Amino acid sequence: MTDAITVEKFADAKEFEPKIIGFLCNWCCYGGADMAGLGRMQYPTNIRIIRVMCSGRVDPQFILEAFRRGADGVFIGGCHLGDCHYVEGNYRTQRRIIILKEYLRSMNINPERLRLEWVSASEGEKFTRVVKDFVKVLKELGPFNDSS
């Protein structure tokens, strides 16, 4: 990416609000998102959350479909490693996401558009922080279609 493009992107970025699909496991990250609300912690409105029982439920097809339909970023939130409600679901998730990022790269999609975070049910603050950061990163990357 050349500097000129970056500057141009930056000018655009003011208008651009990335669309994020979030898959959050019921037991940890979804609770963390609830905790953020309960604590009235404020973050941008870009994310649309889909509850799944475990981050291990997130089929790569869901993620690819989200990108295909125009998501600028996909967020997966699970329990910290070792804390998965179903013992080891999040280890599966971790492995899948690593492979999927490789795949995205090979498709010329910036793997930073796919973000995996471990957030416990009490970490409202962390949830807020990572969502804010993800929005920031995506704004810098610009819309999915023209930057990939």
Which residue ranges make up the site for ligand FES (CB under 6 A)?
Answer: 25, 27-28, 54-56, 78-79, 84-86, 89-90
- Show the binding pattern over residues 90-109: x = contacts other proteins (CB under 8 A), - = does not: --x---x-------------
Identify whether the C-beta of residue 131 lies closer than 8 Å to the C-beta of residue 75.
yes
Token pair for 76: 């997966």
User: Residue 78's binding partner, choosing from other proteins, ligand FES, none, with beta-carbon cut-off 5 to 8 A by kind?
Assistant: ligand FES
Q: Would you tell me how many other CB atoms lie within 10 Å of the CB of residue 59?
A: 12
Q: Which of 7, 87, 99, 107 binds other proteins (CB under 8 A)?
A: 87
φ, ψ at 52 (rounded to 5°): -125, 160
Q: How far apart are CA 61 and CA 121, in angstroms?
A: 26
Among 2-10, 79-87, 109-117, 135-143, which window interacts with other proteins (CB under 8 A)? 79-87
Token pair for 53: 């029982």
Identify whether the C-beta of residue 32 lies closer than 8 Å to the C-beta of residue 119.
yes
Q: How far is the CB of 10 from other proteins (least distance, A)?
A: 22
Beta pairing, strands 47-52 & 114-118: unpaired
Q: How far apart are CA 145 and CA 148, in angstroms?
A: 5
Among 2-10, 58-66, 107-115, 135-143, which window interacts with other proteins (CB under 8 A)? 58-66
Residues that bind other proteins (CB under 8 A): 19, 21, 27-28, 30-31, 33-34, 36-38, 40-45, 48-54, 56-62, 65-66, 69-71, 82-89, 92, 96, 120-123, 125, 128
